[in-house]
Amino acid sequence: MSSVTAGTGRLVHPTNEAFADIRGEIEAEAAAHPTKKRLGVFFWICVSFIVLVAALATFANLLPLPNPDLGNYNSVQNGGPGWGHLLGTDDLYRDILSRLIYGARVSLVVGFGGALLGLILGGIPAMISAYRRGRVDTALNTGSYVLLAFPAIVAVIAIVSFWGHSMFKITLIIGVFGAPLIFRIVRASTLSYATRDFVLAAKALGASDTRILVRELLPNIMPTIVSFGLIVVATIIVLEGSLAFLGLSVQPPTPSWGNMLNEGSSLLTGAKGQTNFWLVIFPASAMFLLLFCLNVVADKLRTYFDVTEIKL
Amino acid sequence: MGRYIAKRGVLLVIIILFVSIASFFLVHLLPGNPTDTILGPNQTPENVATVNRELGLNKPLIAQYFIWMGHVFQGNLGQSFTTHQTTASIIRQSFPIDLELIIFSQIIAFAIAFPMAMAAAKRPNRLFDQASNSTTFAMLALPPFVIAPVLVLLFAVHWHIFPGPASYVPITENFWSNIHTMLLPSIVLALGSIVVYFRLLRNDLISTLQEDFITMARSKGLSDRRIMWRHALRPSSVSLLASAGVTIGSLIAGTFIVELLLQMPGLGYQLISSVNQDDYTVVQGITLFVAVAIVLINFIFDFLFTIVDPRIARE
């Protein structure tokens, strides 16, 4: 619910008297929908944070960072933040900053990869199904209900524990479980456009189904896909993080933010009775900031494109 | 209405059937087999044959499924390979912990979210509304596995306000120390629910308060408090109830996390330890139990939903 503020952008008024009543309508329209839509500075800060994390994770090998999996036994065990190790070290003498940067890879690859896979498995059938309707659509729709009723976390825990914990497998499993959710989003969005006149017009002009789907419908549902897609990415990152916290995602020594939180929270009290804040605070903050930025970007995009809440 | 419930009932049966098939085949179709896991290094052809016979693994898969389902209907979910405890008794011991966590967290969540949403909706876009709105928006980015370790670090380890890990006391043993240990994990779980309840209720209240019948009530001279409680609250709680199903699903993930973190022997803790010991019958049993429980709860909420808002069934 955003507050509707009166638009400040002045329209060029038609001078002809005959346009007087139309002019009134245009002005009312302009007041209801501000003509200058802006994403705002905050949006761009959040986008840059996500890009920064992605860039650091991608080029981690080129950065002057200590090995994330191997500790330097000359440094302090569970040492606090300092010049040698900006964010401190863990109980295996490993540099936390380095582990954070390498660990971002897991969240980003699983999050975006899983969402992309879900989009391919769920989104494409959803568009075709919503456009064609009929029995197949009814069956797929019921199927997606059934799949969504199955609690993802339980299913993913069970599958991962029997199948394996590699990043590829986790992305695959979470992507498959994300597909019914994306199916529902894309289907609802496609349905709202499939019966519009412009689709009918395209049909009358003899456009093929493929052309209608790709050239007429896809551009219209793109804003929905992008803004809800980012929410799906955030949801998947949370799911992967939860798995990692339970010790069921990528296995040590490979760092991920979830398993850093898991390892850290078992070592909160240090040998000298001190509290090891840095073991938990830094991965928790990193995760919070990434999820927060994804939510902000998705939320601002939704307002910007005027995507209404869709009924799932 | 009867037709609607019958339709949902059929869907429920389909879902439960699917859940049972998935829990069963999950274990059997994936690479690696239970016999290898049980025997570990002591694999000889004779051992393998014995174990296969004992577990019924030599029969065709479909037959195994029906045998398993037959046992499930008799309340027999198999037994653990490591402790030889039956899965049913493990569930009976640990499920009350999850139930207690969920009930406590929901009480806390309702006690905070309702007054907060009403206060915010009373004056939309004013200071309190904006503050609570942006706070809850930020809290959307704090899933249990992020906030739980931080709260444990601060309140249990650093300030010693709440007991730390592995201090769970059953409620039958000592009521007050049980409540004391349950408080921190319940707060962690409540945080997620507060966000959802607050946002849904606030939005619905704001739109309800603009309806004609509210203007009517105002013009009759009713007090704001009475309008809020007697007129606006019920029509505004529809999407809240509708979200309950989703909330239960995410609460389960949350209970797993706090149980593992605080070493409370609930279902999640048992599930993860059986996973780590490759105790496949227990994993299968708990998966089936949790999945069916969630599906049933969803169904019950759907039913409640049609009572609160009969229009749903007519659509």
Tell me the pLDDT tens digit for each residue of B175-233. 788 888 889 999 999 999 999 999 999 998 998 888 898 888 889 988 888 888 888 88
Q: How open is the CA angle A67-A71-A74, to the nearest 5 degrees?
A: 120
Q: Does B298 touch chain A (CB under 8 A)?
A: yes
The residue in chain B having the minimum alpha-carbon distance to the alpha carbon of residue A285 is: B146
For chains A and B, CB pairs below 8 A equal 138
Q: Does B253 touch chain A (CB under 8 A)?
A: yes
The backbone torsions φ and ψ at residue B141, rounded to the nearest 5 degrees and listed phi first, read -95, 15
The backbone torsions φ and ψ at residue A69, rounded to the nearest 5 degrees and listed phi first, read -95, -10
Return the minimum-mean-pLDDT range out of A4-13, B163-172, B191-200, B210-219.
A4-13
Query: Exposed, middle or buried: residue B241 (CB in 10 Å: 0-12, 13-18, 19+)?
Result: middle
Q: Are B84 and B54 in contact (CB under 8 A)?
A: no
Q: A312 contacts in B (CB within 8 Å)?
A: none
Q: B185 contacts in A (CB within 8 Å)?
A: none
ipTM: 0.86
pLDDT in tens, B288-307: 898 888 888 878 887 777 77
Question: Which of B140, B272, B291 lies nearest to residue A151, judging by beta carbons?
Answer: B291
Write out residues 279-308 of A within 8 Å (CB-CB) of B.
280-281, 284, 287-289, 291-292, 294-295, 299
Q: Does A192 touch chain B (CB under 8 A)?
A: no
pLDDT at A24 over 80: no
> What's the mean pLDDT in B164-175?
78
Confidence of residue A292 (pLDDT cuts 50, 70, 90): very high
Q: Among B145, B159, B252, B296, which would you mutate to test the A interface (most chain A Cβ atoms within 10 Å of its Cβ)?
A: B145
Question: Range(s) for CATH 1.10.3720.10 in chain A?
Answer: 45-310
Question: Which of B14, B145, B287 lies nearest to residue A158, judging by beta carbons?
Answer: B287
- CATH homologous superfamily, domain A45-310: MetI-like (1.10.3720.10)
Q: Does A232 touch chain B (CB under 8 A)?
A: no
Strands (E), chain B: none
Confidence of residue B29 (pLDDT cuts 50, 70, 90): low
CB contact under 8 A, B272 and A153: no
The residue in chain B having the minimum alpha-carbon distance to the alpha carbon of residue A292 is: B141
Q: Does A274 touch chain B (CB under 8 A)?
A: no
Confidence of residue A15 (pLDDT cuts 50, 70, 90): very low
The backbone torsions φ and ψ at residue A206, rounded to the nearest 5 degrees and listed phi first, read 90, 20
Q: Among B27, B30, B137, B146, which would you mutate to test the A interface (most chain A Cβ atoms within 10 Å of its Cβ)?
A: B146
Q: Is A306 left (phi over 0), alpha (psi -120 to 50) or beta?
A: left
Confidence of residue B129 (pLDDT cuts 50, 70, 90): very high
CA dihedral B222, B228, B232, B237 (to 10 degrees): -160
Q: A153 contacts in B (CB within 8 Å)?
A: 249, 252-253, 256
Q: Among B36, B140, B155, B191, which would you mutate to test the A interface (most chain A Cβ atoms within 10 Å of its Cβ)?
A: B140
Residue A124 has which token pair? 């494409």
